[in-house]
Amino acid sequence: MTTPARPANRHHKRPRGEGQWALGFREPLNKNEENKKNDDGLNVRQRIIDIYSKRGFDSIDPADLRGRFRWFGLYTQRKPGIDGGKTAILEPEELDDRYFMLRVRIDGGQLSLEQLRVIADISNDYARGTADITDRQNVQFHWIEIESVPDIWERLEAVGLSTTEACGDTPRVIIGCPVAGIDAEETIDGRAQIRDILDRYIGDPAFSNLPRKFKTAISGCAAHCTVHEINDIAFVGVELADGTKGFDVWVGGGLSTNPMLGKRLGAFVRPEQVHEVWAGVASVFRDYGYRRLRHRARIKFLVHDWGAEKFREILEKEYLGYSLPDGPSPELPRGGRRDHVGVFPQHDGNFYVGFAPRVGRVSGDQLHLIADIAERHGSRRVAATVEQKMVILDVAPDQVKSMVADLEAADLQVNPSTFRRQTMACTGIEYCKLAIIETKASASRLIDELEARLPDFTDPLTINVNGCPNSCARIQVADIGLKGQLVVDGDGNQVEGYQIHLGGSIGVNPGFGRKVRGLKATAAELPDYVERVVRNFDSQKKEGETFAEWVQRAEEADLK
């Protein structure tokens, strides 16, 4: 007996898509997409100037407060006194304070002394002296009142700075080598390309509604200090066999809860093409990026699903209108530390001097002091790094020694310990609504403890401290990555602590940190734990072996 055929479904539903515009899915599939469709985030600027700054915090539309404000670098900060156990339980309005974090873009990282002093004045006048240097070369203020924002913008814009698209589903700050244009070993100076993209596209409505954030790195640094492997798009300086210099392009890097390393497209990009290729990749992301689920809306998921070959094909055929030639891979990074801390020669005979504030935490007064030290020794510009450090540029040879002495006297160390040099921390529960634990002060105390306990340890070792799972401090690619969470101590109490990732790295042998079953530590136990594992490494390492390499072969008992 034959089975009767099923009747045709006359009400066939279109299969649910990922919200990709290029495939016809234009209707918003979540609240964030609906808010962006209702009004471009760029439009909130005028409401802040005309309405909210005049009528105060209570006048702010919630869709602007927790959404579009980000398009101009504004997040409400965490209300004091709310412990980490309530982070995922309370509603946003219960976590919101009436003050803001305000993020200032420093594309490429370099600042004139005039710009630095304006940032310092804003810190002191409006932000209770706060000014954190981030691992993307931004400066973040806290305690900002909405009434002050227009004046802050006026001051920043008068010296060529901005908060436009410093946050939100937009092209965020473009990071670059802090010593671009002066480094004696750089492959190519990427500053012109950063400026070109900034001038052409930042604040352009064509790119103000991306599926999620879009992070860019452009650099020809020999140390690869901009960590191109973990950016959404990165242009890395390369040189052809005939001496022609340009860029190798990478796409799809990113960390957070689903870390992925960027993929080379294998294409050589001439300097004058960079802005076109950048706009093409951003457009692919805008049109084909996933918009249904926020946690899958980064470009890394599209690149992972398509692969580099298909991505390059779509980019060239649908957006560029021309094929890019194949090009070489970048040279391996110079040295064991991908930063610019210390004293180094410039190609013009001068020197640059890199120094280490504590985990990026500075104050308005310290920024003024840095400007004064630079000026006193003949420099007119400084830079922020992607390791939460700073650099003074253009120091004459006869001024280096006295400048170093002045910086060291101010606890801005030019020759820091490994722990001071290579420990980073995100904002943490002090101000961040997503955080579960405190980070900045804990990381600073950890540095002090390790310097006292391990004064002779000099190997490269990155320690990255994060207050939540989102990896703002890049925990998965750190030698010791510390992800904040609540843990149970020996007395059965729930306290601040960390899940520990070991042996993450980028560069020669890239990979994400190893998780050892049950490996956690309370905040109080952390110095003992780190001391123990570092001593194990120091006693067991082979000649030239890095911490990440040792972790891969170490016994679990030596990692606990």
pLDDT band at 8 (very low <50, low <70, confident <90, very high): very low
Q: Are residues 317 and 455 in the same domain?
A: no
Residue 521 maps to a domain: yes
Q: Is 145 left (phi over 0), alpha (psi -120 to 50) or beta?
A: beta
Residue 397 is classified by DSSP as G
Kindly state the percentage of the chain with pLDDT values over 90. Answer: 92
The count of structural domains within the chain is 3
Q: Are residues 226 and 291 in the same domain?
A: yes
pLDDT band at 7 (very low <50, low <70, confident <90, very high): very low
Q: Are residues 370 and 460 in the same domain?
A: no
Q: Are residues 517 and 462 in the same domain?
A: yes
Residue 325 maps to a domain: yes
Q: Are residues 413 and 427 in the same domain?
A: no
Q: Cα–Cα distance between 374 and 353 in angstroms, integer?
A: 10
The dihedral through the CA atoms of 473, 258, 102, 169 has a sign that is positive
Q: Are residues 555 and 433 in the same domain?
A: yes
Predicted confidence (pLDDT) at residue 544 exceeds the cutoff of 80:
yes
Identify which has the larger pLDDT, 257 or 132.
Answer: 132
Q: Cα–Cα distance between 116 and 119 in angstroms, integer?
A: 5
Give this prediction's pTM: 0.95
Q: Are residues 253 and 274 in the same domain?
A: yes
Question: Which tens digits make up the pLDDT trace of 419-471?
Answer: 999 999 999 999 999 999 999 999 999 999 999 999 999 999 999 999 998 88
Predicted confidence (pLDDT) at residue 2 exceeds the cutoff of 60:
no
Q: Are residues 414 and 434 in the same domain?
A: no
* pLDDT at position 5: 46
pLDDT band at 15 (very low <50, low <70, confident <90, very high): low
Predicted confidence (pLDDT) at residue 521 exceeds the cutoff of 90:
yes
Kindly report which listed range (32-46, 81-95, 115-129, 295-309) carries the lowest average pLDDT score.
Answer: 81-95
Question: Which tens digits make up the pLDDT trace of 123-133?
Answer: 999 999 999 99
Question: Which tens digits make up the pLDDT trace of 320-348?
Answer: 999 999 999 999 887 678 999 999 999 99
Q: Cα–Cα distance between 558 and 537 in angstroms, integer?
A: 8
* pLDDT at position 17: 85
Q: Are residues 325 and 394 in the same domain?
A: no
* Mean pLDDT within 257-261: 93
Q: Across the chain, what does the average pLDDT equal?
A: 95
**Chosen domain end from 387, 420, 453:** 420
pLDDT band at 509 (very low <50, low <70, confident <90, very high): confident
Domain that holds residue 355: 344-420
Q: Cα–Cα distance between 167 and 313 in angstroms, integer?
A: 30
* Mean pLDDT within 230-258: 97
Token pair in block for residue 455: 């004064």
Q: What is the CA radius of gyration of the chain?
A: 24
Q: Are residues 273 and 314 in the same domain?
A: yes
- Look at residues 481, 507, 503 and name the one whose alpha carbon lies nearest to residue 228: 507
Predicted confidence (pLDDT) at residue 384 exceeds the cutoff of 70:
yes
Predicted confidence (pLDDT) at residue 32 exceeds the cutoff of 70:
yes
Question: Which tens digits make up the pLDDT trace of 57-97?
Answer: 999 999 999 999 999 999 999 999 999 999 999 998 999 99
Q: Are 166 and 181 in contact (CB under 8 A)?
A: no
Q: Cα–Cα distance between 274 and 283 in angstroms, integer?
A: 14
Query: Whose structure tokens read 């006026």?
Result: 154
Predicted confidence (pLDDT) at residue 487 exceeds the cutoff of 80:
yes
Residue 65 maps to a domain: no
Query: Can you point out the beta strands (E) in 403-479?
Result: 423-425, 463-466
Query: Can you point out the beta strands (E) in 2-133?
Result: 74-78, 96-104, 110-112, 130-133
Q: Cα–Cα distance between 123 and 132 in angstroms, integer?
A: 10
Residue 441 maps to a domain: yes
**Chosen domain end from 333, 363, 388:** 333
* Mean pLDDT within 293-313: 98
Predicted confidence (pLDDT) at residue 12 exceeds the cutoff of 50:
no
Q: Cα–Cα distance between 172 and 96 in angstroms, integer?
A: 23
**Chosen domain end from 399, 420, 441:** 420
Q: Cα–Cα distance between 493 and 445 in angstroms, integer?
A: 22
Helix (H) or strand (E) holding 38: helix 31-38
* pLDDT at position 77: 97
* pLDDT at position 276: 98
Q: Are 297 and 291 in contact (CB under 8 A)?
A: yes
Q: Cα–Cα distance between 207 and 213 in angstroms, integer?
A: 11
Collect all residues with Cβ–Cβ distance below 8 Å to 81 and sequence separation of at least 6. none
Hey, what amino acid is at 155? R
* pLDDT at position 336: 73
pLDDT band at 239 (very low <50, low <70, confident <90, very high): very high
Residue 123 maps to a domain: no
Q: Are 464 and 473 in contact (CB under 8 A)?
A: yes
Q: Are residues 362 and 292 in the same domain?
A: no
- Look at residues 147, 54, 41 and name the one whose alpha carbon lies nearest to residue 100: 147
For 12-21, letters b (16+ CB in 10 Å) and e give eeeeeebbbe
Identify which has the larger pLDDT, 517 or 353.
Answer: 353
Residue 106 maps to a domain: no
Q: Are residues 486 and 392 in the same domain?
A: no
* pLDDT at position 389: 98
* pLDDT at position 404: 98
Report the CATH number that the domain containing residue 489 is assigned in CATH. Answer: 3.30.413.10
Helix (H) or strand (E) holding 314: helix 308-314
Residue 256 maps to a domain: yes
Predicted confidence (pLDDT) at residue 1 exceeds the cutoff of 60:
no
Which H, E and C letters describe 105-148, residue by residue?
Answer: ECCCCEEEHHHHHHHHHHHHHHCCCEEEECCCCCEEEEEECHHH
Predicted confidence (pLDDT) at residue 3 exceeds the cutoff of 80:
no
Predicted confidence (pLDDT) at residue 304 exceeds the cutoff of 80:
yes
* pLDDT at position 299: 98
